[in-house]
Amino acid sequence: MKGEDLYSHAQVTWCPGCGNFGVRYALREALLELDRDGIPVENVVIVTGIGQHGKMFDFMNINGFYGLHGRTIPIAAGIHIANPDLRVICIAGDGDCYAEGLEHLVFGAKRNLDITVLVHDNRVYGLTTGQYTPTSPFRFRGRSTPDGSREHPFNPLELVLTSGATFIGRGYSRRQEQLKDLIREAVLHRGFSFIDILQICVTYNDMTEYYNSHIYDWDQDDLGDFEAACRKAREWDYDTEAPIGLGLMYRSGKETFEELCPVPEQLKPGERAALVRKIMDERR
């Protein structure tokens, strides 16, 4: 399989320079490596939200489900509970996952669902043209806050850590090699794996210079140490001038929701179709 096989033929409508290109490339490379390592791409499903990030469904040539805004996690949970052989990756936006869909993030982490969540955190509503999100910087000027937002951003890493996630990392759309490794490890992880991806939005929130001058790589010691992870998560609160750590922040082992609540009987594909037909016939 070649890299271009994983891209679709749909016309790409992201702005030139959009960070989504970098994320798409990193995801593609991670999937190719996983395919080589025995996780066939046929066994991977992406679930997207609604937003510029959601167009990954259109621009990738892999199994997918175009979800509703904010609802990637419950859909992914259903897919994975129904068929635990699949690796399910949520492609969510910051508006999508941290605003309208926030409760799903907290409960997905709390349950340690065995799914992966990638948040394209451009810190703005891209598709709807520039409104502020929960991670937009204080005094962010956009369509809905022309005088500047008066809210401080929240810190998604701290939130998912304290909610119970067992794999937490931060990537950057301009660091594709590192992001590829993070995505690969997240998919391999058993439990709730979460990556906040700092993503450039060239049109409504271009933080390229700021990120380039503040990022550094976290060391990979103490990955299972909760207190050390708390300190890392709090180094930068998405607003201060502090250095911005990138890479894996926390990894621990814990029973997953699926292990604790196994589906008692797996239906074979033919049986499943017959059952769906029966249920539909009954409702006619």
Ligand X SMILES: Cc1ncc(C[n+]2csc(CCOP(=O)(O)OP(=O)(O)O)c2C)c(N)n1
Residues that bind ligand X (CB under 6 A): 49-53, 68-69, 93-96, 100, 120, 122, 124-128, 133
The answer to whether 165 and 193 have CB atoms below 8 angstroms apart is yes
Per DSSP bridges, beta strands 87-93 and 116-121 are parallel
Rounded least distance, CB 175 to Mg ion, Å: 19
Ramachandran angles phi, psi of 193, nearest 5°:
-110, 135
Based on its alpha-carbon atoms, the radius of gyration of the chain, rounded to whole angstroms, reads 19
Smaller CB distance to Mg ion: residue 126 or 156?
Answer: 126
Q: Binds 128, which of Mg ion, ligand X, none (CB < 5 to 8 A, cut-off by type)?
A: ligand X
Tell me which residues in 239-278 interact with Mg ion (CB under 5 A).
Answer: none
- The encoded tokens of residue 175 equal 């660091």
- Who's near 228: CB < 8 A, 6+ residues apart? 221, 222
Q: Which stretch binds Mg ion (CB under 5 A): 122-130, 166-174, 187-195, 203-211?
A: 122-130
Which of 20, 116, 122, 256: binder of Mg ion (CB under 5 A)? 122
Single-letter code of the amino acid located at 29 = E
Rounded least distance, CB 126 to ligand X, Å: 3
Asked whether position 136 contacts Mg ion by CB under 5 A, the answer is: no
Smaller CB distance to Mg ion: residue 126 or 191?
Answer: 126
Rounded least distance, CB 225 to ligand X, Å: 32
- The encoded tokens of residue 55 equal 């167009």
242 torsion bin: left (phi>0), alpha (psi -120 to 50), beta (else) = beta
The answer to whether 200 and 208 have CB atoms below 8 angstroms apart is yes
Residues forming beta bridges with residue 169, ordered by sequence position: 195, 248
Asked whether position 114 contacts Mg ion by CB under 5 A, the answer is: no
Smaller CB distance to ligand X: residue 17 or 262?
Answer: 17
Smaller CB distance to ligand X: residue 49 or 156?
Answer: 49
The answer to whether 170 and 196 have CB atoms below 8 angstroms apart is yes
Q: Binds 127, which of ligand X, Mg ion, none (CB < 5 to 8 A, cut-off by type)?
A: ligand X
Smaller CB distance to ligand X: residue 59 or 125?
Answer: 125
Interior/surface letters 246-272, b for 16+ CB within 10 angstroms, e for the rest: bbbbbbbeeebbbeeeeeeeeeeeeee
Smaller CB distance to ligand X: residue 127 or 188?
Answer: 127
Q: Binds 50, which of ligand X, Mg ion, none (CB < 5 to 8 A, cut-off by type)?
A: ligand X
Smaller CB distance to ligand X: residue 93 or 164?
Answer: 93
Rounded least distance, CB 55 to ligand X, Å: 8
Rounded least distance, CB 140 to ligand X, Å: 13
Rounded least distance, CB 68 to ligand X, Å: 6
Single-letter code of the amino acid located at 220 = Q
The answer to whether 245 and 236 have CB atoms below 8 angstroms apart is yes
Applying CB under 5 A, the residues found at the interface with Mg ion are: 93-95, 122, 126
